[in-house]
Structure 1
Amino acid sequence: MQIIKLSAIDSTNDYLKQLSREKKLDNFTIVVANEQTKGRGQMGSKWVSEVGKNLTFSVLVKNVMISNEKLFDWNIVVALAVLEVLERHEIQKVSIKWPNDIMADSKKVGGILIENVLKNGESFDSVVGIGLNLNQTNFEDLPKATSLKSLTNKNYDIFETAEEIVKKIEEKYQQLDKSMTVFWNKYHEKLFKIDKPLAFEDSKNNRFMGIIQGVTHDGKLQVMLEDDSITFFNIKEIQMLYK
């Protein structure tokens, strides 16, 4: 796999998208930045990372054979790949907080931003951006964040970790046609706070209790309310309130 190393860039996703428009790139080309000045999370939220201590990278994945109606399938494949790498490094109690935050116990250790270019309805090209807290230990202004070093007291190589994650994504990419049911089951097993009473706040600042039942194939969070009714929420329509 080709790795492009940058000292600083506004966004590895934006850089890789532009580069792929300008020239033909190999599948699984990686762009890694020492500093990302305008890193983004879901729906434009900002990703903050200490310079030189964490992993911020994007990878180009071509011809993902998933229909446009099931785009969230690709999200769960990528999230599971990251989770499995963390488990290989003996990170405990890892989970996926809907839609794409990577958690260790109740603290965020990473995040994923996927941007797809749709093609013929049955496949797409994807730029997968991943931010992972590796060696940063000061989270004074981010009480719900942690890092691999904070959890294990070990130092991690940025480029080796990127390669490890991309190899795991490629492995799952090769299994798409036969393993999606297995992937979905694993995703729900690893879904943060599933089946537990939890406080929520909606986009109008209304607070309520509910229990996460799962995630639908179009990426909506399925929540059972106190009256036993089921409601479905899109990204940014709801946030979890937890300690």
Structure 2
Amino acid sequence: MNLIKLNAIDSTNTYLKALVSNHELEDYTVVMAETQTQGRGQMGTKWVTEPGQNLTFSVFKKISCLQSDEQFYLSIAVSLAIYDALAFFNIPDLKIKWPNDILSWNSKVCGILIENIFKNGHMSAAVIGIGLNLNQSDFDGMINASSLKQITGVYYNKVEVLQKIVDRIKFYEPWVVERRFNDLKTSYENLLFRKDKPSTFKRKDGSLMMGFIKGISDHGMLKVLLEDEVIEYFDLKELRLLY
């Protein structure tokens, strides 16, 4: 692992993508920042982090085996890797909230933003951005957010946790390369937050609906059982799971 440590940066994903555009990077090059001023999440949301207290980093991963409609399997592999790493540190009651938030005791502790790199119309690599609430103690009124230290009372070493996450990404890499998609999908579905429980969702038009999460499609869409035993599939732009 080639680790680049920075004091402050707008976004580790943005910094790493700029590096990729100008240099030939080693696989698993990692950029870690003590302070990230413009961290981003899914759908353009901001990732708010207390300076120096959390683990914010991006991983450059060469990957060319996925078709455009198979990219969610990389997201699954990264989600499973983080789940495993946090389980190693005895973080309790871990779940994956679709598509790729990691929860402990129903509170968000980690978010993932993967930005794929294409050459000649084909995926050639990905920049995997991870924001993990490690030692932060104050979330300034943020609902359903917590940190590992708040949950366990333990102070965590950032590099140690980073290394464990990268090690687990390397563990799941062959699953993606060898196209063990069923194994990835099954493992992911078994860890889904609120699976088979009555849940409330918000549609993109603002309306609410009730349903049961049953899993995901082969392309990562959320599979929801609605009234009258009707199954529907939703992508990230169409639906948001409420608590």
Q: Which moved more, 1:50-59 or 1:67-76?
A: 67-76
What TM-score do you get using the length of structure 2 for normalisation? 0.95
Superposition pairs of residues 83-122 of structure 1, within 5 angstroms: 83-119=83-119
The answer (yes or no) to whether the contact 2:116–2:123 under 8 Å persists in 1 is no
Q: Which moved more, 1:138-147 or 1:178-187?
A: 178-187
Superposition pairs of residues 5-154 of structure 1, within 5 angstroms: 5-119=5-119, 123-154=123-154
Which position in structure 2 is the counterpart of 1:198? 199
Residue-pair matches, total: 242
Q: How many angstroms apart in 1 are the aligned matches of 2:225 and 2:146?
A: 30
Aligned residue for 1:60, secondary structure, equals: strand
The answer (yes or no) to whether the contact 1:68–1:118 under 8 Å persists in 2 is no
Q: How many angstroms apart in 2 are the aligned matches of 1:60 and 1:19?
A: 10
What is the CA distance between 1:218 and its match in structure 2?
1.6
Q: For structure 1, which runs of at least 5 residues remain unmatched after alignment? A: none
Aligned residue for 1:227, secondary structure, equals: helix
Which position in structure 1 is the counterpart of 2:242? 241
Cα root mean square deviation, aligned: 1.5
> Are 2:233 and 1:215 aligned?
no
Q: What letter corresponds to residue 160 of structure 1 in structure 2?
A: E
Distance 1:201 1:178, change over 3 A: closer
Q: How many angstroms apart in 1 are the aligned matches of 2:38 and 2:179?
A: 37
Q: How many angstroms apart in 2 are the aligned matches of 1:114 and 1:217?
A: 18
What is the CA distance between 1:143 and its match in structure 2?
2.8
What is the CA distance between 1:3 and its match in structure 2?
0.5
Distance 1:178 1:204, change over 3 A: closer
Q: What letter corresponds to residue 78 of structure 2 in structure 1?
A: V
Q: Deviations over 1:148-178 (max 9, x none)?
A: 1111111111122112111110121133206
Q: How many angstroms apart in 2 are the aligned matches of 1:196 and 1:119?
A: 42
Which position in structure 2 is the counterpart of 1:232? 233
What is the CA distance between 1:187 and its match in structure 2?
0.2
The answer (yes or no) to whether the contact 2:54–2:132 under 8 Å persists in 1 is yes
The answer (yes or no) to whether the contact 2:35–2:51 under 8 Å persists in 1 is yes
What is the CA distance between 1:119 and its match in structure 2?
4.1
Q: How many angstroms apart in 2 are the aligned matches of 1:178 and 1:63?
A: 12
Q: Which moved more, 1:124-133 or 1:114-123?
A: 114-123
Q: How many angstroms apart in 2 are the aligned matches of 1:66 and 1:122?
A: 9
What is the CA distance between 1:121 and its match in structure 2?
7.0
Runs of 4+ in 1 over 6 A off after TM superposition: none
Q: For structure 2, which runs of at least 5 residues remain unmatched after alignment? A: none
